[in-house]
Structure 1
Amino acid sequence: MSVHSDAYAASTQPEVTARLTVYLVAVGAFALGMASYVTAGLIPMIQTAFTIPVEAAAQLVTAFTLAYGLGSPLIVAFLPGRYQRAGLLAALGLFVLANAASALATELSWLLALRALAGVGSGVYLAMGIAVCATLSPPAKRGKAIAIIMGGMASGTVLGVPLSLLLAERLGWASAFWLVAALGLSALAGLAWRLPKLPTAATIPLGRKLALLADGRVLAILTVSLLAAIGSLGMYTFIAPFLAEPEHGAIRSIAPYLWVWGLGGVAGSFLIGPLADRMRGPALTLAIMLCLTFALMSLPLAASMHPWLAVLPIALWGAVGWALQVPQNNELIRTREAQGDGNFAVALNESALYLGSAIGAAGGGLILLMGLPLSSLAVAAGTVGAVGALVQLTNMRRH
């Protein structure tokens, strides 16, 4: 009896360790979600504290996102395969230190540099965290593991950001960064204690890593992620002025609608996991892109009929927008697993999201400069989503 018990315990130990690692990485992703979006809410407080114009304070967001989108793939590309565990812990450590130091900053130049460091740590941590959890999890449960991590990030955005802003209103802007650092530190302590020794990956020359950009499947996946971000995150930038228009309900308080979008994102991130493990990734991505297109296209009609009807497409939009990256990252890891550069592919995918967000915001601004109605923003975003669905369908037929 004891022999069977010992054998069972030995067989389940790796699975328990993998599950614990996934949840600890998700805690860090929660802190990352807070850090990614809380700075925008802190701009008025930082502007007052540093006596600077709002456009200068807004560059703190730019520093974080540019460093996240551009710096993290470079570091992941140069990191040797044998340092996966150390790289993951170092990235989270950099993130914690940068946020703690941000709370102590007294000059804008220092704060800008520290937000950039936090952005680099965030990008490297998320890319490596997803890759590590995919390595530790059985293939049949990889989708669920990635979904938990993305759900942690979505929860940090939806739940953590309002909490940190409430804290900042009472204790000052620095308290928000202290909270982010404390959450990141708790994840770091847990991972340093429980993260197992990882398989030593072969050292891959940089030239071979960059060769993945010649992989047609990888480029198609990255293109779909880019187009989805242009449509989804680009439209999110203008959701407040869109709903403030008289023909869309003349909404005065945007907060309930942002909560609906965010809660939809949390639900979509967690619920997509089982589907990602049961359905073919490309088919699931196509279905998500079609739902995203429908949600964005139907938003003007729903809002014009009644303001509260707008919550239906907004909830669907948030759910599928956040859920998309689960099958996308899973497919990237599966496609590049044999080459050993799945973590670099995931880092490039995260960069595509941030680049898409910037392009979407710029494109929306151009539409407004042309004097087109605000409803055209949703139509344009939905059209970009439709193009992404077409790219995905073409990729499925080709491969």
Structure 2
Amino acid sequence: MSLFLLSTAMFALGMDAYVLAGLVPDIARSLDVAEGSAAQVVTAFTLSYAIAAPVLAASLAGKSVKRILSLAMALFVTGNLISVFASDYWILIASRCVAGVGAGTFAPVAAATAGSLVPKEKKGRALGVILGGMGTGTVIGVPVGIQIANVAGWQLTLLVVAIIATAAIVGILSRLPAVDVAPPPSLNARLQMLTNPRVAVVVTVTLFTAIASLGLYTFMAPVLAALSMNLDSSLYFWAWGIGGVVGAFSVGHVIDHSGRPGIVLLCILIALVAAITLLPVSASAPAALSFVPILIWGAMGWSSLAPQQHVLLDLQPEHGSIAVALNSSANYLGSAIGTMVGGAIITTQAASAGSLPEFAAIAGLVAIVLQAIIVITQLNTQRSSTDATTR
């Protein structure tokens, strides 16, 4: 039951984090702002998730897990409720910051709690349940949320998110047993990890990957409209989410089989950039084929984090939690940067929304170059070590 409650909360987080991309046009019309400006509600959420949440985490050290989780979800619900009734753009931005802090505080503690609720041999399955909750929030929650918005307005979608999260809070307070887990690493601990050059390069790859993938995702609805992909937009969001879940659950087997997470990531990045580049081409393809690049994009974007976590855990076995938390912050920071840049491009009319895949592909190419350097350096190091041992 406890895992189900945590998974339900993660469903709300996943739905909230990704559904806003599909609501950008509706928010722009409702608040009478440009779509580039409306997209910054995503920036507010992701930037707070990446930066403000780790700051709050440091002040929660020593508090009970139940209290941390309840406080985090209360912030998340409060942010969403303010969003529902926000009639002003800046109030909506502020409310998304509050929701982002709550989500960013809750997620890592929920994952740690899930692992402590079961025997060690079942820890992987417990974490899978938690991640599955967020994945389901994306695959099912996002398309459903878009349909709700189409019928009754985007505010009702966020109200549904708040109701689901409130139910999770009640369950956590009444059913979650007392457990001890380490608080999430502070922002200072994450930044200190960047003094390691190898860690810094790996995290930079994550940053540019997120700029390309998640930054573009925020503008999927405007991009689809600009490219004249006139099917129901929720279908494309559904395809992206399904691809994401398949990729996230499959990549671990590929990594284990190959034993080379760096090369796996390089292949993922190449496929990601290819899929993004093909988006404009797919607009003129038959309807069924138009989903293929989006399906691949979702699969590659979601599967990119696991190889990075493997590499970081190998580089920092004694500080693995901090390294993985840093990578997560870089992922959300990249999403925020990509959204800000995309919004600026559209708002200033430097280019149309249909051109955003080209800019995303450039960020993806930077990630490919950096990852290729990492792989080549690693292979040369291994070759040198082999030569030294055979002499």
Normalised by the length of structure 1, the TM-score is 0.73
- Pair 1:90-2:71 in alignment: yes
After superposition, where does 1:1-399 map in structure 2 within 5 Å?
21-42=2-23, 52-54=32-34, 59-80=40-61, 83-105=64-86, 109-134=90-115, 145-199=126-180, 201=182, 210-237=191-218, 250-253=228-231, 255=233, 256-272=235-251, 280=259, 282-283=261-262, 284-297=264-277, 308-329=288-309, 332=312, 338-339=318-319, 342=321, 344-361=322-339, 369=350, 374=355, 376-377=358-359, 379-393=361-375, 396-397=378-379
Query: Matched residues, percent identical?
Result: 38
Distance in 1 (CA, whole Å) between partners of 2:114 and 2:329 is 20
Q: What's the C-alpha RMSD, in Å, of the aligned pairs?
A: 4.2
- Counterpart-to-counterpart distance in 2, 1:392 and 1:141: 34
* Whole-angstrom distance in 2 between the partners of 1:366 and 1:101: 28
Cα deviation digits, residues 178-214 of structure 1 (max 9, x gap): 2111211233333334444334549989866643222
Larger deviation, residues 79-88 vs 236-245: 236-245
Aligned residue identity for 1:36: A
Q: Contact 2:21–2:220 at 8 Å: present in 1 too?
A: no
Call closer, same or farther: CA 1:207–1:179 in 2, change over 3 Å: closer
**One-letter code of the match for 2:268?**
I
Number of aligned pairs? 374
Distance in 1 between the 2:267 and 2:339 partners? 25
CA contact (8 A) 1:151 1:270 kept: no
CA distance in 2, matches of 1:71, 1:32: 16
Shift of 1:118: 0.7
After TM superposition, give the deviation of residue 28 of structure 1 in Å.
Answer: 1.6
Secondary structure of 1:175's counterpart equals helix
Change (3 A) 1:242 1:107: closer
- Deviation track 1:343-393 (CA, whole Å, cap 9, x = no partner) reads x5444333322322244356667698379x947446535523422532552
| Counterparts in 2 of 1:67 and 1:277: CA distance versus 1, 3 Å | same
List alignment gaps of at least 5 residues for structure 1. Answer: 1-19
* Structure-1 separation of matches of 2:118 and 2:308: 17
C-alpha deviation, 1:117, in angstroms: 0.7
Q: Distance in 2 between matches of 1:349 and 1:263?
A: 23
Q: Unmatched 5+ residue regions in structure 2? A: 383-391
Deviations 1:316-345 (A, max 9, x none): 221121122344446656765634x71x54
